[in-house]
Chains A and B, each alone.
Chain A
Amino acid sequence: MAILVNKDTRVVVQGITGSAGTFHTKQCIAYGTEVVAGCTPNRGGETFEAEGPEGKKVAVPVFDTVAEAVKKTAADTSCIYVPALGAADAILEAVDAGCKLVICITEGIPVMDMIRVRRALEGSSTRLVGPNCPGVITPGQCKIGIMPGHIHKPGRFGVVSRSGTLTYEAVGQLTALGMGQSTCIGIGGDPVGGMDFIDVLELFNDDPETEGVMMMGEIGGNAEEKAATWIKANMNKPVAGFIAGATAPPGKRMGHAGAIISGGKGTAKDKIAALGAAGVKVAPSPAEMGKTLQSML
């Protein structure tokens, strides 16, 4: 089962004709993801050509609007590569079109835009992942986003992270230890976004195919602290963690818009302490993430 995406997921890619959209959609199709439509305004009627897992030719129709794409192809999930200043609107378009899951890869969306998106999502059943994230992958079934598919291996461990490449690092370690992944989700590096740690952990907790979870956080905000409280009260599977940025100086934005220690709050130290108190084993070094989860089994 895994969570959020599987072999039956039908994807529409917004921004498919841009360079990032093109490159990564081809990789996702080659992985075996069911990309059924693309959407770029004014490019409707074109065909996006790619090759599936065994080199089989795939022709994806491109539409002007997500509404039309959903109507004509029954797409249920959107992946967004639209540039930053138009991306919030793209998210709202996908929600309006009836997508049940929207995965926004785009980095650099203005915070006020995301605050408005969250407001618009109140009362909606659509799930948002991201923005500023690598996407979601259920290994062997469906890859939506920019992660390198070949490092993943199907299995029983869930992975959730605020960082893209740090997730790949963890996945690489888990795969090397023979610990395949049920689903890997990048929740993104922005201060205001979609699904948070708790939202994802809830799904992993209820997923019969997930046996344990690896979670990677970083400085800034209090998402990890909130997750720790939730984990202590609800989680019935082992969770291992790592927090990036123990060496980050205060007040500086460390790449991610959300990775900033403000007014003394959001330090790695506080997060590590909160998680530890909740029974999460926190890896002392990023090289030991996989081993740390393994030690809890």
Chain B
Amino acid sequence: MKIHEYQGKQIFARYGIPIPSGVPCFSAEEAEKAAKKLIDETKNPVVVVKAQIHAGGRGKGGGVKVVKGGPGEARQVAEKLLGMQLVTHQTGPAGQKVCRLYVEQGLDIARELYVGLVVDRERRRVAMMASTEGGVEIEKVAAETPERIITEHIDPLLGLAGFQARKLAFGLDVGRGTPKPKDTVKQFAATLQKLADLFVREDCSLCEINPLVITKQGDVVALDSKINFDDNSVGRHRNWAELMDKDEEDPVELEAKDAGLSYVSLDGDIGCLVNGAGLAMSTMDIIKHHGGNPANFLDVGGGANKEQVEKAFKMILSSPKVKGIFVNIFGGIMKCDVIAEGVVAATKELELTVPLVVRLEGTNVDKGKEILKQSGLSIQAADTMADGAKKIVKAVRAG
């Protein structure tokens, strides 16, 4: 689950990680008020008006504006940003609509660094990466100048040790050029340890500060915040529900998640309903292999009951693009008769007009096949995955 920069910064603040003063704003008036408040408090006329969308690259895309002309100018900038489709290298060509802003105090930036934490699957540890190349895409740095990234792995037993934090601090030479090098090093190391603690306690899957700045005064401040949470951990974080921004989510994917199903929208016209993620991916693959185009990924899981299957069907059919459906079930936990009942019920209730191919195999397969046969509906049966894929591609082409 992704959250906005301003929400990430609120979490940073809870852990004592220094952030610039800032105010989330949902209208141009709020932005004007916030700018006035910040200018008065900080005695600094510079504020930054930032579009809040989940994708990175907002600055380059024109979604971050430095404002030196006071609250009036902040209001004008806010008016322009709110409602715009912000396109960045991470949003895709359609971009993302800007509905939220964050107005922040301006800082005297001396240096921009990068710090990021991610789960290193190979080492089975959280990895903390730091680089002097702040403010740029870290993937680019990793590809072109990997020697500019220093990595420390965090032992879950110890957390980020003091010596590890210092290795990173001195490795980046954070004290260089600051008015108080010893203090800057101390601040930086402390920030890293707080970040490491945050990552684990908040069940993150990604946490990036890009850039983490050293101000001209030698202070360490998080100028950005990008936090992704581990979806598996939602059961132990009650606050996540209110952090979610529905405007950023695909409504069908959200509905599916609420129903306990896994769903991803794709571009094609052949809907898929499959049990098991690997088989569901393979079903998409085999449709493509036989010349078709999958409309979605849908894993109905092992515990799906008749109602969930019906819901899944309706979800697939809610897309006008869908010209046919391929149900591919190999039952382990999933029982073929449960799928069959769901398919029949949904088909009848929705008065299905597009071609439907159903392939069943595994637990209770004979019961399942019987239910489909007895339904009297025009469902094409397939015994193998290849047979099913070929049939649905053919049916969709013909229709």
Which of A8-16, A40-48, A166-174 touches B?
A: A166-174
A112 and B233 in contact, given A20-B333, A166-B279, A172-B330 (Cβ under 8 angstroms): yes
**Chain B positions 285 through 317: 1 when the CB is less than 8 Å from some CB of chain A, otherwise 0:** 110110000100101001100000000000000
Minimum distance in angstroms from B153 CB to a CB of chain A? 11
Q: A264 an interface residue at 8 Å Cβ cutoff? A: yes
Which of B8-16, B119-127, B370-378 touches A?
A: B119-127
Contacts of A163 on B, CB cut-off 8 Å? 276-279, 281-282
Which of A55-63, A204-212, A215-223 touches B?
A: A215-223
Minimum distance in angstroms from B43 CB to a CB of chain A? 41
Q: Considering only CB atoms, which chain B residue lies closest to A115 in the complex? A: B156
Q: Determine if A244 and B281 form an interchain contact, defined as CB atoms under 8 angstroms apart.
A: yes
A253 and B231 in contact, given A165-B276, A166-B276, A259-B281 (Cβ under 8 angstroms): yes
Per a CB cutoff under 8 Å, which of B230, B277, B389 touches A111?
B230
Q: B157 an interface residue at 8 Å Cβ cutoff? A: yes
Q: Determine if B233 and A255 form an interchain contact, defined as CB atoms under 8 angstroms apart.
A: no
Q: Residues of B with Cβ closer than 8 Å to A?
A: 119, 121-122, 124-126, 139, 142, 155-157, 200, 203, 205, 230-233, 235-236, 262, 264, 266, 274-286, 288-289, 294, 297, 299, 302-303, 330-334, 361-363, 384-386, 389
Minimum distance in angstroms from A81 CB to a CB of chain B? 10
Q: Determine if B332 and A148 form an interchain contact, defined as CB atoms under 8 angstroms apart.
A: yes
Q: A156 an interface residue at 8 Å Cβ cutoff? A: no
A168 and B361 in contact, given A192-B121, A222-B121, A247-B288 (Cβ under 8 angstroms): yes
Minimum distance in angstroms from B337 CB to a CB of chain A? 13
Contacts of A165 on B, CB cut-off 8 Å? 274-276, 278-279, 330, 332, 334, 362
Per a CB cutoff under 8 Å, which of A23, A110, A134, A246 touches B203?
A110
Bound: A162/B282 CA distance, A: 12
A246 and B230 in contact, given A164-B332, A226-B122 (Cβ under 8 angstroms): no
Bound: A161/B264 CA distance, A: 22
**Chain A positions 260 through 295: 1 when the CB is less than 8 Å from some CB of chain B, otherwise 0:** 000110000000000000000000111110000000
Q: How many residues in A have their beta carbons less than 8 Å from beta carbons of B?
A: 62
**Chain A positions 21 through 53: 1 when the CB is less than 8 Å from some CB of chain B, otherwise 0:** 001100000000000000000000000000000
- In the complex, 5 of the A-B residue pairs with CB atoms within 8 angstroms, ordered by the A residue number, are A115-B156, A166-B279, A168-B332, A169-B282, A254-B281
Q: Determine if B122 and A221 form an interchain contact, defined as CB atoms under 8 angstroms apart.
A: yes
Contacts of A110 on B, CB cut-off 8 Å? 203, 230, 232-233, 236
Contacts of A253 on B, CB cut-off 8 Å? 231, 262
**Chain A positions 172 through 196: 1 when the CB is less than 8 Å from some CB of chain B, otherwise 0:** 1000000000000000010110000
Bound: A169/B124 CA distance, A: 30
Contacts of A248 on B, CB cut-off 8 Å? 281, 284, 297
Bound: A287/B362 CA distance, A: 16
Q: Determine if A112 and B264 form an interchain contact, defined as CB atoms under 8 angstroms apart.
A: no
Q: Determine if A254 and B330 form an interchain contact, defined as CB atoms under 8 angstroms apart.
A: no
Q: Determine if B299 and A255 form an interchain contact, defined as CB atoms under 8 angstroms apart.
A: yes
Q: A203 an interface residue at 8 Å Cβ cutoff? A: no
Minimum distance in angstroms from A132 CB to a CB of chain B? 9
Per a CB cutoff under 8 Å, which of A108, A114, A119, A164 touches B155?
A119
Q: Determine if B332 and A259 form an interchain contact, defined as CB atoms under 8 angstroms apart.
A: no
Bound: A118/B384 CA distance, A: 39
Q: Determine if A134 and B277 form an interchain contact, defined as CB atoms under 8 angstroms apart.
A: no
Bound: A247/B291 CA distance, A: 12
Bound: A191/B286 CA distance, A: 25
Q: Considering only CB atoms, which chain A residue lies closest to B388 in the complex? A: A287
Q: A127 an interface residue at 8 Å Cβ cutoff? A: no
Q: Determine if A218 and B281 form an interchain contact, defined as CB atoms under 8 angstroms apart.
A: yes
Contacts of B276 on A, CB cut-off 8 Å? 163-166, 255
Minimum distance in angstroms from A33 CB to a CB of chain B? 15
Q: Residues of A with Cβ closer than 8 Å to B?
A: 20, 23-24, 84-85, 108-112, 114-116, 118-119, 134, 146-148, 151, 161-169, 172, 189, 191-192, 216, 218-219, 221-223, 226, 242, 244-249, 252-259, 263-264, 284-288
A148 and B363 in contact, given A119-B157, A164-B276 (Cβ under 8 angstroms): yes
Minimum distance in angstroms from B338 CB to a CB of chain A? 12
Minimum distance in angstroms from A221 CB to a CB of chain B? 5
Q: A254-B277, A255-B262 are in contact. List 10 more A-B contacts (CB 8 A).
A: A20-B303, A20-B333, A84-B232, A84-B235, A119-B156, A164-B302, A165-B275, A169-B330, A253-B231, A264-B139
Per a CB cutoff under 8 Å, which of B203, B282, B302, B363 touches A166?
B282
Q: Determine if A148 and B362 form an interchain contact, defined as CB atoms under 8 angstroms apart.
A: yes
Contacts of A259 on B, CB cut-off 8 Å? 277-278, 281
Contacts of B232 on A, CB cut-off 8 Å? 84, 108-111, 257
Per a CB cutoff under 8 Å, which of A147, A222, A255, A284 touches B122?
A222
A162 and B278 in contact, given A168-B330, A255-B297 (Cβ under 8 angstroms): yes
Minimum distance in angstroms from B204 CB to a CB of chain A? 9
Minimum distance in angstroms from B176 CB to a CB of chain A? 29
Rank and list the top 9 A-B pairs by shortest CB-CB distance, nearest first.
A163-B278, A255-B277, A165-B276, A287-B386, A166-B278, A165-B279, A286-B282, A244-B281, A255-B299
Bound: A284/B200 CA distance, A: 40
Minimum distance in angstroms from A146 CB to a CB of chain B? 5
Q: Determine if B331 and A148 form an interchain contact, defined as CB atoms under 8 angstroms apart.
A: yes
Minimum distance in angstroms from A83 CB to a CB of chain B? 9
Minimum distance in angstroms from A110 CB to a CB of chain B? 4
Q: Determine if A254 and B235 form an interchain contact, defined as CB atoms under 8 angstroms apart.
A: no
Q: Considering only CB atoms, which chain B residue lies closest to A134 in the complex? A: B332
Contacts of A116 on B, CB cut-off 8 Å? 156
Q: Determine if A115 and B282 form an interchain contact, defined as CB atoms under 8 angstroms apart.
A: no
Bound: A189/B262 CA distance, A: 14
Q: Considering only CB atoms, which chain A residue lies closest to B336 in the complex? A: A148
Q: Determine if A151 and B362 form an interchain contact, defined as CB atoms under 8 angstroms apart.
A: yes
A286 and B230 in contact, given A85-B236, A192-B121, A249-B264 (Cβ under 8 angstroms): no
Contacts of B121 on A, CB cut-off 8 Å? 191-192, 221-223, 258
